[in-house]
Structure 1
Amino acid sequence: MAILNVVTEPADILLAEAKPVTKFDAKLHKLLDDMYETMVESEGVGIAAPQVNQSLQAVIVLMNIDSEEEEEILELINPEIVQYSTDTNVDLEGCLSIPEQFGDVERANGVRVEFEDRFGKTYKLEAIGYDARVIQHEIDHLHGVLFTTKASKMYTPEEMADMFGEEE
């Protein structure tokens, strides 16, 4: 596995529609493995292929990070959100491709997603809470949408330090 370069704003690929994955082969598997390694190295909870300069509909998310359940890595290929819950919440988001910027974003509290795995098998998933937020954020990347366009308020690094305290 390899650590890939994370593309940062204002790269055009971050604002473009990603192409569907059509080949579920060793090249895709290597990309997914490298994306996972890059996400972990970057201390992220999700990553989309456009963030590593690949115009493909592929994302990786770390599930269950806010629960008592064991964390799980989820690969979503050609994902589509087929249903959003009517209830929403606003929470702080950041992005590996937009370093040191954070903002309040309103998102559906729950989603139903259809996707394929690395072998092309189709699945359906329901996610709620933080898991749903991360999935929505990463799928937005596949459609050229950045969280900054959805944020109701953005915070400077100084404001973030004030809110969460500076580490000494």
Structure 2
Amino acid sequence: MSVTPIVKVPSKVLTSKCEKVKKGDPELKPLVENLVDTLDNAQNPQGAGLAAPQIGVLKRVLIARNFYEDPGNTNLTKFENVVFINPKIVSHSKETDVDWEGCLSIPDTYGKVQRYSQVKVRTEDLDGQEFTVKASGFFARTIQHEIDHLDGILFTTKLIGNKVTEEQLDNIIAAEEE
């Protein structure tokens, strides 16, 4: 298991554009394994995705978790780690959603961000074979957030309204549920 410390703001790596991964790159498989291990190890908060620059590597690689309910146990949420190499959003819905986001690289900071409700992403697998992923809801939001990292864009530059701390967010959500 290879866990790398997550790069935090104000590191310039987080606002730098990433390079495309070349076919046959010998560093690709270890990088993907490192991203998965680091994301699996993230606690308080857990992450929904992780991009290569968040572990200090300026390559267009990310992991996004696709969450789903276990059909045998509706109280259990499972996820699948989806690897994106050289991802590009090729189409998106006209509809957008505004929802809360946070980031493992920006501790204790949350805010509302507008994102496309659905996206279609062209990407590659570990062997350089292209495939397409269609995503909606939270999975689409996660993919867009992580692709922004590959372009040196932080969610805090896209906020609608003010950023809040985790404690403030918990209070806001609790008040909305009443």
Verify same fold: TM over 0.5. Answer: yes
- Structure holding more strand per residue: 2
- Figure out how many residues of one structure are paired with residues of the other and give that number: 164
CA distance in 1, matches of 2:102, 2:136: 19
Q: What does residue range 154-165 of structure 1 map to in structure 2 within 5 Å?
A: 154-164=163-173
Q: Identify the range of structure 1 (70-79 vs 87-96) with the bigger mean alpha-carbon deviation.
A: 70-79
Which residue is equivalent to 1:89? 97
Q: Deviations over 1:29-77 (max 9, x none)?
A: 11111110101111211000000000000000111x1555752111000
Q: What does residue range 2-81 of structure 1 map to in structure 2 within 5 Å?
A: 2-42=2-42, 43-63=46-66, 65-67=67-69, 71-81=79-89
Q: Deviations over 1:58-99 (max 9, x none)?
A: 000111x15557521110000000111100011100000001
**Residue identity matched to 2:132:** K
Q: Deviation at 1:158?
A: 3.3
Q: 5+ unaligned residues in a row in structure 2: which ranges?
A: 72-77
Give the percent of matched residue pairs that are identical in Structure 1 and Structure 2.
38
Q: Deviations over 1:101-159 (max 9, x none)?
A: 00000100000100001111110111011110000000000000000001112112331
CA distance in 1, matches of 2:22, 2:144: 22
**Residue identity matched to 2:102:** G
| Cα RMSD for the two superposed structures | 1.5
CA distance in 2, matches of 1:34, 1:118: 14
Q: For residues 130 and 68 of structure 1, do their structure 2 counterparts lie closer, same or farther at Cα, with a shift above 3 Å needed?
A: farther
4+ runs deviating over 3 angstroms: 23-26, 66-70
Q: 5+ unaligned residues in a row in structure 1: which ranges?
A: none
**Residue identity matched to 1:132:** A
Q: What does residue range 141-156 of structure 1 map to in structure 2 within 5 Å?
A: 141-153=149-161, 154-156=163-165
**Residue identity matched to 2:31:** L
